[in-house]
Structure formats: structure tokens, C-alpha cells
Amino acid sequence: MNTLGSAIDYQARKKRQAPRIRLGKISIIKSLRLRIISAFLALALIVITGYSVTLKAVSEGSQDIEFNWYIAKVTDTLVKMHYANPEMLKKYLNGRLVMGDDRQAQRYLADHFLPAEMAITEFDGDLTSLPYIDSQVEVTKQGYSIFEVEFNGREMVHIVRAPLTGKNDTSPYLYYFADTSGFSVSPDQELELCLVQAIGAGITLLLAVLAAVLLTRFVMAPLRQLKQDMERLDIQRSQKLDTDYYHDEVGSVACHINQLVDRIREGIVREKAFIRDVSHELRTPVTAIAMTVENVQDEPLPETSVLKKGLRRIARANTNMARLIEAFTVLGRESSIKEESVHCDMYTLANASIGLNGGIHAPENVRMINVVPKDLYMRLPPKLLSILGENLIRTACQHDPDGKIWLDAGHTWIEIRHSGPGFDQSVISNLARPYCTEKSNGFGLGLNIVQRICQTRNWKLDIANWKQTDDSGAAIRVTFA
């Protein structure tokens, strides 16, 4: 019945459609290693940016200080030369020297240094009034004033104004003009500097990543040791984490793990005792009931009598209870959950399951059909597979007490189908929960046992309805990992 597989595949595709990706759920973002590396990269970027800005500011400031100190010394030499030998200084007056006041200095600046777009039309006799001169005037220890002329963010001229205080001086100041336009950085040079800075930043980031990886290995060493100790830990043998951890966060985690191991070990001991005692106490009355029913059934009674039918119902219910006790006992043992897989003849196992469980769970008018291929073999745990088949048959018989039940299997799955109205769509997703059932004659434990087995072995349980032209029903499929 191919329509059944299509129905289950459709249900599986619906669950896989449009997965919601939540950034907080991505495991790599929670990685401690990634966070350490990211912190190193962020720190490297902050250091690079701060160092570059500071270096540029300090470099520009130190260059201005050194240059202003140099031209102040040159001006001081010229002033001394003026006092010592004025005639010798006259030959410099046609060069970069002017003797006079601010008006004459403005005119000399306009005639010899400023381009046409910086033309000065009025000379008011105050150098600081010019829009191209920096308002912050530096005064040297000699008492000289240094003015900086800038245009479009580039320095063009530094002017040193030295007061003349000699008795024979007719001019109030000596002006020394230093052309700095050639020292300004060109756009190509700025591009080269930016490229050098980018290369330096890239190298620094690579070194930061390398340092972060190495440091991460060092920082993560206690966690790796904790992981190795956890992998070697055997609770059954009363082991603990034996590594001597330092009293920090990792040591605190190791201490809490040891405490948790003790609690788990005590819980396992209590659980084993509980399973042993409960299994024994439940088997005792079940066995007594079975023996009593068997003895009473040996008495000659009419097949149609009410007592005979009641005894059969008691026998079936008692057998069903014994099987449930056995299933829960098996699921409560760790050794049973880790049962080793063997080669199983699926067709023979299906026939055996029908013969063993059909008479217990199936009403007389239910027909059970084995459609498993006769040459199908799979590696599966036989005890868990037997419990799985029994509970699937029980569920199918309780849901449809009057119809057909098919047992089918493939290379990676087993399946039980039954005819009838199918499951209510509103409760399909809850059928594997304990005590959830649609029928009054069931406990809602069959599919829950199947679900628990699937969870322990990483198998997949699918429940779906199927419909064909002349028939319909429900299907339960277990797909092996």
C-alpha cells in the first residue's frame, strides 16, 4: 500500500518545512573558544585604532614643535646679526625677511606666497585678522610669535615675528617667512600611508588571531581535561573525577559534577531496588491469578457460559498485565536498552509475533496479515523488537476491533497498518504520550512504550492516516537510524 508511505513522508516533510533559525540557538555563537578569539580581535582593533590616531596626532604635533623651534632659532640668529652687523643683514631683506609692521608683512605675504584664490584686497595691519592664519599663535621663550598660514587644510607658510628693541631700530618687528608648502603630504603620499597602515593592521590582526588560538588552547586546557575525565567516568564503578583541579570556576564545576555523580549513583541504586521489588511484588499476584484461572478453566463448563467467557477475559487481561510488567522492567534496565543487535529474519519474527500476540490482543473477527518480504533480514535487538511488535499489535487491535491488520517491513523500517476510520487528527501528535488513548478498553501505554524504545535507540516513530479508493485506516511506522 504505497499511499501509506506517501502519507507518512508528507507528514515528515511538513515538520521539516520552513525551519526557524534563531541566532541565540546557533551553537557556534555559544562557543567559549569563539568568544575568546572574538575578544582578542576586538581588543586588537581597539589597540590599532587608538595607536594609529595617537601616533598621527603625536607625529603632527612633534613635527610642528620641532619645526617651530628650528625657525625660532634661525630668527634669533638673524636678530642677533641685526644688532651686531645691520649691513650684513640687508642682503637678506630681498629674500625671506621683512622689517616693518604687520601691514608690510601682509603685503609681502600676498605678493610672494599666496595663490590668486587667496588674494588679499585690504591690509588692516593685523596678521591675526587674516582668514588663512591660525588663530592659535605660538609664542616662543624668546618672545617671538609664530603664525601658521593654511589653505584647504594644508600648511603653506610659517611666519616668525620678532620684536626689535634697539635704540636705532625704526621698524618694530623682524618677520621671517618659512615656506612649508613643500612639506605638506600629497594625496598619493596619503594613499601610501593609508595602505601601510592597512597592511600593518592586517598583520596585527593575524598575529592577534594566532595569539588568540594559542591562548585559547592554554585557557581551554582545564576544560579539555574535564571533558576527558567525564568520558572516562563510570558511574556504575563508583568512580569520580580524580584530577586535582584548581579552586576556580572549572574546579567548582568538577566538584559539583562529583556531587551530582554521587546523587545519580544513589538514585540508580534506589531505582534498581525499586524495579526489583516492584517486579517481584507484581509478578507474584499475576502468577497467582494465572494459576487460579488455569485451574478453574480445567473445570467442565459450557463454552457459552458467562463464567467461561469471564475467565477468558481475566486470562487475557492477566497475560497483558504480565507483558506490560516485563516491558517496563526491560526498559528500566540499562543493559536491555543497550542490547546488542543480531541478524533477524523479519518474516519469521512477524509470524511469531502474530501467533504470540494475536490470540491475546486480537478479537476473533480481526484478521492479521503478514506482508513482510520472506527474504528480509535486518540487524536489530531481538528483545526490544519483540516488545515493539507486541505493543504495535496491541495498539492496532484496540483501535480497530473489527477489520484487518497488516504487518509490513522494509530495509530500514517496520510498519503496522489497520483498516477503519483512522486516528483523530487532533490527537495524533499526543498518542505517544502516556495514558493518552482514544478507546475505553486501553490504558494509553502501548505507543508510549514504543516511543520510549525509539528514543533510547534513536529510531523515528511516525503515525499517520491513509486512504485509498476502497479502503482507509491508520498506520504506525518505526524507522531505524
pLDDT tens per residue, range 228-284: 888 887 776 767 777 777 777 778 888 888 888 888 888 877 877 777 777 767 767
Query: Which fold, 339-479?
Result: Heat Shock Protein 90 (3.30.565)
Cell 649691513, residue located: 87
Long-range contacts of 411-415 (CB under 8 A, 24+ apart): 411/376, 411/378, 412/479, 412/480, 413/477, 413/478, 413/479, 413/480, 414/346, 414/388, 414/389, 414/477, 414/478, 415/4, 415/475, 415/476, 415/477, 415/478
pTM of this prediction exceeds 0.85: no
Q: What pLDDT score does 336 carry?
A: 66
CA distance 64 to 148: 10
CA distance 159 to 178: 6
Q: What pLDDT score does 198 carry?
A: 81
> pLDDT (tens digit, 9 = 90+) per residue, 354-404?
777 655 555 566 788 888 998 999 988 888 888 888 888 877 777 766 678
Q: What pLDDT score does 168 carry?
A: 76
Q: What pLDDT score does 26 carry?
A: 52
Q: What pLDDT score does 207 carry?
A: 82
At residue 16, the 3 state secondary structure works out as helix
Q: What pLDDT score does 364 carry?
A: 64
CA distance 446 to 157: 96
Q: What pLDDT score does 185 carry?
A: 60
Contact, 477 vs 415, CB < 8 A?
Answer: yes
Per-residue pLDDT in tens (0 to 9) along the chain, 481 residues: 444 454 444 444 444 444 443 444 455 566 667 777 777 778 878 887 877 777 777 776 677 788 888 888 988 888 888 888 877 776 666 567 888 888 888 888 888 877 776 666 666 777 777 777 776 678 888 889 888 888 776 777 888 999 988 777 778 889 998 888 776 666 676 778 778 878 877 887 788 778 878 887 887 888 888 888 888 877 767 677 777 777 777 788 888 888 888 888 888 778 777 777 777 677 677 777 777 777 776 677 666 667 777 777 777 677 767 766 777 777 666 666 677 888 888 888 888 887 776 555 555 667 888 889 989 999 888 888 888 888 888 777 777 666 788 889 998 898 988 887 777 777 777 676 655 555 555 545 678 888 888 888 888 888 888 877 677 788 889 998 7
For CA atoms 431, 438, 473, 362, the dihedral sign is: positive
Contact, 38 vs 225, CB < 8 A?
Answer: no
> pLDDT (tens digit, 9 = 90+) per residue, 119-154?
666 667 777 777 777 766 788 888 898 888 887 767
b/e sequence 439-473, b meaning 16+ C-beta within 10 Å? eeebbbbbbbbbbbbbebbebebbbbbbeeeeeeb
H-helix segments, 298-424? 306-331, 334-337, 346-361, 382-399
At residue 83, the 3 state secondary structure works out as helix
Residue 250 burial (10 A CB sphere; 0-12, 13-18, 19+):
middle
